[in-house]
Structure 1
Amino acid sequence: MTEDPSKRRLGRGLAALIGEIDRPAAQPQEVKVAADGSLPIEFLSPNPHNPRRSFDEEELSELAQSIGKHGIVQPVVVRPAREQGRYEIIAGERRWRASQRAGLVEIPVIIRNVDDRTALELAIVENVQRADLNPIEEAQGYQQLIDEHSYTQADLGQIIGKSRSHVANTLRLLKLPDPIRDMIVNGSLSAGHARTLVTAQDPAALAQRIVEGGLSVRQAEALAQQPANENNVVKATPQRAEKDADTLALEKLLSDVSGLKVVINHKENGGEVRIAYRTLDQLDELCRRLQAS
């Protein structure tokens, strides 16, 4: 009996499939650092725990242009990843991103064999030293070290070279609602202004007043300390009582004699005389006249 050709083809297909199943899986290619300390850029991956989350597009484009012309001046710090043949970025993700835009095939690296805790430490330290983190990212990085690796605020201060009070004040920003955090991230509200809102009853409304009024940190502190029902009340400026003719005449006389502006505030049980000067020379002259008399 003649064998069916279709069965022969099916048999060969099954044999080939079984052969593929039995064949050992291909091992990931081992990547070695070149003599000049560089690695193929495709074998680097960003650190999922990097405290830095936002990358300014304009700054990345400018850095990419610089790298395309001059190359990378400072190597990227990496560590071996769990996936064989790959490396995880510890510090320098912005340079890695810009290098991709610049079309680089390889970038210089420094390989560190460190654990998750140390890798996070290094990432935070480098970003804080370079002022690459916005205050919210910095606070989140500190909180991550506290939650995952049992750091104290004093420990963090020693590691990053900041005072314990700086760490504590930075962590306070995480108590603020998301809309205010967004204002800090985009730069419309400074960390100093934001810290004054932590204990405020309506921080969002006060934040808006601070931004719209261009208030200083000290003014923001005073505003935040007011009772809630006074925060949105504009206090009327008390009207000063009109001065009598004798007081006005005396002010003019003293102003003419001294050559300086003199204001007399007379009250029922006394009062005060204010003399305004613009320069130290005017003050010296006033002192000389008072001593001579």
Structure 2
Amino acid sequence: MAVRKKGGLGKGIDALISPVSNKEVETEKVIIEKPVEKIVEKVVEKIVEKPIELKLKIDEIEPNRLQPRKKFDEDTLQELSESIKQFGLIHPIIVKKKDTYYEIIAGERRWRAARIAGLDEIPVIVKEYTDKESMEIAIVENLQREDLNPIEEAQAYRCLIDEFGLKQDEAAQKVSKSRTAVTNALRLLKLDERVQQMVIDDMLSGGHARTLLAIEDKDEQYNMGILVFDNKMSVRETEKLVRDYLKKKEIKKEKEIKEDYSQMQTIYHQLEERMKNVIGSKVAIHSRNYKKGKIEIEYYSNDELERIIDLIESVKQV
């Protein structure tokens, strides 16, 4: 049996749970580790002398809708449920009272494993938290264990920002991350939804996903993601693939621009000839782009200039 030293991300959950009195003591949960199973994750709780534990029917407890982690590995859940069958649920989950049920604040994985194990009742500690505090604790708990995949992490930050009106630097402070880390995480939500799902399904890593952000076209992002996954490319190989793709795209764009310019020049030349036939003097069209430019009419004497002016005025009178 091994006891882990206190660690975590920045101030972690401790920073979100206010001290209650001078009698407060800090305890650490015990981790029983086996080669293929980890019975329970470390969660550090601040308590007043002794936590108040209750036994609740498992059907009275429901997941938190703001839980940042959406995907739970079935194999590890099964391993945990087997441990719970053998040892019981060693540590209570944290819940808060809702109208007709209790909502999980921390410990949804253990709750799910307990259901698989067939437990009718489980130990809980009831806490009073706002939705914002519950969300913050859920994010910190998962980030401390690094359980969130990159998309879930980004969605959690987005939830903090959108639902609770936080700025990026405020959200970063809440979870003890740098603003840059939060900003980079949020960028992943700009990916095509199919690519995001590939990250959630562990088909692509966060590094692969960030590389694909350089491709603006959503379909091309997805096609490139499939190519990376099918060929088991590393992040560095993916970076080279994207660079080559963007270079080819730029060359193609330049070629198209030249072709378009050549076509427009042909059209302008035809227009110049038509105007020359009408005015009786050389005409040149100079275009700045497809919408703007200037027309230049040549004359070789004052008499010819007056003739051209008379011709233009006669068109105006008509």
Answer yes or no: same fold by TM over 0.5: yes
2:132 is equivalent to residue 114 of structure 1 = no
Residue type at the aligned position of 1:209: L
Q: CA deviation at 1:49?
A: 2.1
Asked which structure has the greater RCO (Cα within 8 Å, sep 6+), the reply is 2
Identical columns (%): 44
How far, CA to CA, are the matches of 1:132 and 1:228 in structure 2?
34
Which residue of structure 2 lines up, in the alignment, with residue 175 of structure 1? 190
Q: CA deviation at 1:211?
A: 2.3
2:108 is equivalent to residue 90 of structure 1 = no
Any idea what the Cα deviations from partners look like across 1:61-120, whole Å, max 9, x if unmatched?
11111111112233211111122xx21111111111111121222212122111111111
2:164 is equivalent to residue 149 of structure 1 = yes
2:76 is equivalent to residue 59 of structure 1 = yes
How far, CA to CA, are the matches of 1:156 and 1:74 in structure 2?
29
- Pairs within 5 Å for 1:260-275: none
For 1:186, which of 198, 201, 219 is the aligned residue?
Answer: 201
For 1:197, which of 212, 215, 228 is the aligned residue?
Answer: 212
For 1:47, which of 43, 53, 64 is the aligned residue?
Answer: 64
Which residue of structure 1 lines up, in the alignment, with residue 115 of structure 2? 100
Which residue of structure 1 lines up, in the alignment, with residue 139 of structure 2? 124
SS of 1:82 mapped into structure 2: coil
Residue type at the aligned position of 1:57: E
For 2:152, which of 128, 137, 157 is the aligned residue?
Answer: 137
How far, CA to CA, are the matches of 1:147 and 1:213 in structure 2?
37
Residue type at the aligned position of 1:77: I
Judge conservation of contact 1:196–1:224 (CA < 8 Å) in 2.
yes
Q: CA deviation at 1:150?
A: 1.3
Which residue of structure 1 lines up, in the alignment, with residue 55 of structure 2? 38
User: Using a 3 Å threshold, how does the CA distance of structure 1 residues 59 and 171 change in structure 2: closer, same or farther?
Assistant: same
Any idea what the Cα deviations from partners look like across 1:134-178, whole Å, max 9, x if unmatched?
211111111011101112222222222222222111111111112
Instruction: Give unpaired runs (5+ residues) of structure 1.
Output: 1-33, 234-293
Judge conservation of contact 1:183–1:189 (CA < 8 Å) in 2.
yes
Judge conservation of contact 1:200–1:225 (CA < 8 Å) in 2.
no
Residue type at the aligned position of 1:103: G
How far, CA to CA, are the matches of 1:142 and 1:49 in structure 2?
11
User: Using a 3 Å threshold, how does the CA distance of structure 1 residues 196 and 146 change in structure 2: closer, same or farther?
Assistant: same
TM-score, normalised via structure 2 length: 0.57
Residue type at the aligned position of 2:74: E
Q: CA deviation at 1:227?
A: 5.0
Which residue of structure 2 lines up, in the alignment, with residue 264 of structure 1? none
How far, CA to CA, are the matches of 1:88 and 1:118 in structure 2?
13
Q: CA deviation at 1:219?
A: 3.1
How far, CA to CA, are the matches of 1:213 and 1:76 in structure 2?
42
How far, CA to CA, are the matches of 2:52 and 2:151 in structure 1?
40
How far, CA to CA, are the matches of 2:242 and 2:95 in structure 1?
45
* Deviation beyond 4 Å, 4+ runs, structure 1: none
How far, CA to CA, are the matches of 2:53 and 2:130 in structure 1?
26
How far, CA to CA, are the matches of 2:234 and 2:209 in structure 1?
11
Which residue of structure 2 lines up, in the alignment, with residue 75 of structure 1? 92
Instruction: Give unpaired runs (5+ residues) of structure 2.
Output: 1-50, 252-318
Which residue of structure 1 lines up, in the alignment, with residue 269 of structure 2? none
**73-82 vs 185-194, which deviates more?**
73-82
Judge conservation of contact 2:53–2:124 (CA < 8 Å) in 1.
no
